Amino acid sequence: MKIGLITDSACNLPKEETVRYDINVLPLQISTSTNTYRDNGIDLQTNDIYALIKKEVPKTSMPAIGDAMETLERLKNEGCTHVLAIHISKGLSATFDMVNGLKDNAKELGMEMEAIDSNSISMGLGSLVLTAAAMRDKGYEFSAIVDKIKDLKKETEVFFVVNTLEYLRKGGRIGKIEGSLGDLLNVKPIISINDEGVYYTVEKVRGRKKSLKAIADVAKKSIENKDVHLSILHGNAIDEAKEIYEDFKKDYPDVVLYDITSALGVHVGPGLIGITYSKRENL
């Protein structure tokens, strides 16, 4: 048995991690009126997106189906017998449905394939992918990995705040978050993802400073005493993110701090602060 892993660029894993753990990443696509870019950190550097969206808010879309097919064919050529694909919440993107629709193609190539809707995004998704990679590398059976990731997605949380809801609204991903009135009143919702895989408001506070304290408090209360993979994310807000990172590092020394990818930057605009965690497994 040889297992290939596929995810998409919404996982927010840095290149060195995906190379180290042999994880195949399908890049989401970012389209303006004149160009289409792949969310691969090459077509657009991470923070280039914020200059771009000042001129025009691009559209994002699922990875190209040709990229997915090429990945399956390459995995077959590398000797894979099984493929596990873990993707951004289907409430936020058509990526999962596209990849899930390729099961017959994988079967024709002689591989058994399972696709999992993470019900998450960013390092919520990324942590699940890393756990799957660790299990694969320790020799777990394919079915055991699939079952564990399906269980762990229920113990994975994403919280974030944004400067403005404008970009979520323009991108059609506002979900169950209340819209424009909040911006007018300087209300900053703490946002998470519900069981339907769409955004909703956990808590509302007024003002940026209070929102940063509130998101940290909400995350700490949710984590309680769990052993977790913990990540702090930001979109062009490194100084604020570092403050939260240093606060969490006191109790969670292996917390990581990452920029969000360009495609996620399109969704939320500059100023995102995010906190994600997933239960850590003793493998």
Check: pTM over 0.85? Answer yes or no. Answer: yes
Q: Of 119, 154, 189, which residue sits at a domain end?
A: 154
Average pLDDT over residues 196-224: 95
Q: Of 125, 154, 183, which residue sits at a domain end?
A: 154
Q: What is the pLDDT of residues 5-63, one digit of tens each?
A: 999 999 999 999 999 999 999 999 999 999 999 999 889 887 789 999 988 999 999 99
In this structure, the answer to whether residues 117 and 196 fall within a common structural domain is: no
Q: Over the chain, what is the mean pLDDT?
A: 94
List, as one string, the DSSP characters of 171-240.
TT--TTS--HHHHHTTEEEEEEE-TTSSEEEEEEEESHHHHHHHHHHHHHHHHTT--EEEEEEEES-HHH
Tokens of 37: 């870019």
Number of domain units in the chain: 2
In this structure, the answer to whether residues 55 and 184 fall within a common structural domain is: no
In this structure, the answer to whether residues 238 and 143 fall within a common structural domain is: no
Q: How confident is the model at residue 104 (pLDDT cuts 50, 70, 90)?
A: very high
Q: How confident is the model at residue 183 (pLDDT cuts 50, 70, 90)?
A: low
| Domain limits for position 216 | 155-279
56: domain CATH number is: 3.40.50.10170
| CA 172, chain centre distance (Å) | 17
In this structure, the answer to whether residues 129 and 168 fall within a common structural domain is: no
- pLDDT at res. 181: 59
Tokens of 231: 């990540």
pLDDT greater than 80 at residue 178: no
- pLDDT at res. 182: 61
* Alpha-carbon distances, residue 112 vs 2, 21, 43 (angstroms): 11, 20, 32
- pLDDT at res. 7: 98
